[in-house]
């Protein structure tokens, strides 16, 4: 297993994002004037602004419910998106909602986490929510195996176990698991799914990790930063244990 904070030359990351759903005092309504104020503060790093309507959603979690399901919970509500100059980092802002996304190239948690906390700090200073009702860290990775004539156990420590049977090998493999996170009330839901590959000589798999604080968090900056780093370390440890040394080598070539 590589060192805990090792950066691979070609990491398999497709996207990482953090999201925060806030809770305000009873009777307090969202103030849309926060949006232009927020934008003025982040415009240097996120010059492009977009407005879109979206349907509110909730991540449905529970033992024995694979995979996590997204359920619409309300009418379309406005969401504002601020995009970095290279289009790879995005901040999404809405009614009691903050999301920070990072697309490749990903330069590591040490650079992404300060961006998340910068946006969190600004949002809570402007809006002053009572608490974080739910927080989540999501990772999506794509792993390409360069051959069809190998067993996936050569690359993965996590895979479905099938009964022996005659005929061709099984395809469209998928599994989902759920484990308790690093902190009481936290849950990690992991999903592995075989993905149709454009390479007829290989196999492609998607791995998604959804780490959620189901019990919420205080809106205190230090508490949230501490939780974020515990969540990341937990997810990364599980990520490293999921793959073999042979798989690591694919990301170093």
Q: What is the 3-state secondary structure (H, E, C) of 18-58?
A: EEEEEECCCCCCCCCCHHHHHHHHHCCCCCEEEEEEEEEEE
Are 42 and 154 in contact by the 8 Å Cβ rule? The answer is no
- Maximum CA extent, the chain: 65
Are 249 and 145 in contact by the 8 Å Cβ rule? The answer is no
pLDDT for 60-113, tens place per residue? 433 333 444 444 444 556 689 999 999 999 999 998 999 999 999 988 999 999
Mean pLDDT in residue range 1-24: 82
pLDDT for 127-184, tens place per residue? 999 999 999 999 999 999 999 888 899 999 988 877 776 556 677 889 999 999 999 8
**Closest by CA position to 66, among listed 189, 207, 205:** 189
By three-state DSSP, how is residue 229 classified?
helix
**Closest by CA position to 194, among listed 143, 157, 251:** 143
CB atoms within 10 A of CB 10: 10
- With cut-offs at 50, 70 and 90, classify the pLDDT of residue 2: low
Question: pTM surpassing 0.75?
Answer: yes
Are 30 and 96 in contact by the 8 Å Cβ rule? The answer is yes
- With cut-offs at 50, 70 and 90, classify the pLDDT of residue 5: low
Positive or negative, the CA dihedral 81, 83, 87, 90 is negative
- With cut-offs at 50, 70 and 90, classify the pLDDT of residue 4: low
> Omega before 105 cis (within 30°)?
yes
pLDDT for 207-241, tens place per residue? 999 999 999 999 999 999 999 999 999 999 999 99
């Amino acid at each position: 297993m590589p060192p805990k904070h090792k950066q691979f030359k070609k990491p398999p990351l497709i996207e990482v994002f953090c999201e925060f759903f806030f809770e305000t005092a009873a009777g307090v309504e969202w103030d849309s004037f926060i949006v232009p104020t927020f934008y003025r503060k982040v415009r240097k790093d996120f010059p492009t602004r977009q407005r879109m309507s979206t349907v509110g959603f909730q991540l449905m979690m529970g033992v024995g419910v694979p995979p996590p399901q997204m359920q619409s919970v309300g009418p379309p509500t406005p969401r504002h998106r601020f995009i970095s100059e290279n289009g790879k980092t995005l901040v999404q802002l809405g009614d009691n909602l903050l999301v920070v996304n990072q697309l490749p190239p990903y330069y590591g948690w040490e650079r992404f986490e300060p961006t998340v906390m910068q946006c969190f700090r600004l949002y809570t200073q402007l809006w002053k929510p009572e608490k974080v009702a739910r927080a989540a860290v999501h990772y999506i990775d794509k792993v390409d195996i360069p051959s069809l004539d190998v067993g996936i156990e050569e690359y993965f420590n996590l895979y479905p176990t099938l009964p022996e049977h005659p005929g061709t090998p099984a395809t469209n493999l998928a599994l989902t698991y759920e484990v308790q996170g690093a902190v009481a009330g936290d849950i990690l839901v992991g999903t592995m799914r075989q993905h149709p590959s454009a390479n007829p000589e290989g196999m492609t798999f998607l791995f998604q990790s959804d780490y959620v604080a189901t019990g919420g968090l205080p809106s205190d900056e230090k508490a949230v930063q501490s939780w974020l780093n515990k969540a990341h370390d937990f997810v990364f440890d599980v990520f490293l244990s999921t793959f073999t040394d042979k798989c690591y080598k694919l990301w170093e070539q």
